[in-house]
Amino acid sequence: MTMEIPFSELLEQLPKQFFASLVAKVGEKIKAGCDVINLGQGNPDQPTPKHIVEAMQRAAANPKYHKYSPFQGYFFLKEAIAAFYAREYGVNVDPDREVAILFGGKAGLVELPLCLVNPGDVVLVPDPGYPDYWSGIALARARMEMMPLSSENGFLPDYEAIPESVADRAKLMFLNYPNNPTGATATKEFFAETVAFAAKHGIAVVHDFAYGAIGFDGRKPVSFLEADGAKDVGVEIYTFSKTYNMAGWRVAFAVGNERIIRALELLQDHLYVSLFGAIQEAAAAALLGPQDCVTELVALYEARRNAFIAALCEIGWEAPAPYGSFFAWLPLPKGISSAEFADMLLERAHVAVAPGIGFGEHGEGYVRVGLLTDEARLREAAERIGRLGLFEKNF
């Protein structure tokens, strides 16, 4: 008889993976033979640019990389990261002390609460926001305080609305612009306000810059580190997944505050030997090589955004165009929950979207759509939804 082996209390208290059920539902429909247009996930659909793949192929044959990598990564990648930040944002970064190489952005986001907070400490979290912020907080046995993001405030947190008693107990804060799920962007003025708020209350800031390259209408997203004093209070996490379509490569980095970078590297020294060297060489090639692929990718997403928002308008669904990221955040008719609406679209239109409640309490009333299929399929998704007549009825 197999022994019953209980999970630890730590595992038992992890938040449920909300989107696992969505993936399962979509999978069941596809298995049943349905033509599902899956707009519910955030997995880039374009291939990694050829020059990056070729750099990886060449490097994989180098015996140097067949051994263990240096624990904290190769210095040439850290130097490339510093050159990238100087070129793109005018920010000077010390590659020796202000850069940590990560096994994907998610790893850093989950690791940072383990590095910086103790059980019972308060962490400020955007609501709606990326659910994996919650995972690291749960592992650290810390406590979340939500910062509501509303359309009226451009989906930016209102620091004046945070009670002083909460702000004074907070040790860490997560931000994310361009934002998942809302597609909102932030300004340098907002980040300056963030620095002042963090410094006043002794809060470390983690800016998740996953969609840093993806801004529309000629607006380049702003780096948190462009704000004066940003490195005094926090770090920024940048992933190759979105900018260079390298989601499966699992490579990212953190830049900024020297103390936070040291904490990350110390934790990772105990968890890993660093990334395969050939991946690090390909990552450096991505940062230092031609950037036409990034320009073309942003133009592709903007064209998809324009086509999809126009198609929604034609069926009577009034939705604002996102300023950045590759998501659209769509308000729902009154009287129906986001989970019910998502289920309805999947069942009746074979269109998968992510219900807003999966991103937090203040995500209710919205669904998130990924612009990760071609324009024809996006228009078809809108047409399928339109045939349901949902925007001609009062729920």
Q: Is residue 3 part of a domain?
A: no
Same domain? For 69 and 16 the reply is no
pLDDT category at 392 given cuts 50, 70, 90 is low
Which of the listed residues 259, 288, 317 is the one where a domain comes to its end?
A: 288
For range 140-156, the mean pLDDT: 96
Same domain? For 66 and 208 the reply is yes
For range 174-188, the mean pLDDT: 97
Tokens of 180: 């998942």
Same domain? For 184 and 217 the reply is yes
Indicate if the pLDDT at residue 63 is higher than 60.
yes
Number of domains composing the chain: 2
For range 49-57, the mean pLDDT: 97
Same domain? For 270 and 240 the reply is yes
Query: How many separate helices (H) and strands (E) can be counted in the chain?
Result: 15, 12
Residue-wise pLDDT for 257-302, tens only, equals: 999 999 999 999 999 888 999 999 999 999 999 999 999 999 999 9
Same domain? For 135 and 252 the reply is yes
Q: Is residue 94 part of a domain?
A: yes
Same domain? For 373 and 282 the reply is no
Report how far Cα 89 is from the mean position of its chain's Cα atoms: 19
**CATH code, domain with 280:** 3.40.640.10
Predicted local distance difference test score (pLDDT) of residue 394:
43
Which of the listed residues 288, 318, 336 is the one where a domain comes to its end?
A: 288
Indicate if the pLDDT at residue 179 is higher than 70.
yes
Q: Is residue 201 part of a domain?
A: yes
**327-331 vs 252-256, strand pairing mode:** unpaired
**Quick one: 38 exposed, middle or buried, by C-beta within 10 A (0-12, 13-18, 19+)?**
buried
Give 220's contacts (C-beta < 8 A, 6+ positions apart).
none
Q: Is residue 1 part of a domain?
A: no
Indicate if the pLDDT at residue 23 is higher than 90.
no
DSSP, collapsed to helix, strand or coil, labels residue 250 as: coil
Tokens of 49: 């640019």
Its domain, for residue 388, covers 9-48+293-392
For range 82-105, the mean pLDDT: 97
Same domain? For 34 and 57 the reply is no
Same domain? For 284 and 299 the reply is no
Which of the listed residues 288, 317, 334 is the one where a domain comes to its end?
A: 288
DSSP single-letter state for residue 47: P
Residue-wise pLDDT for 359-378, tens only, equals: 999 999 999 999 999 999 99
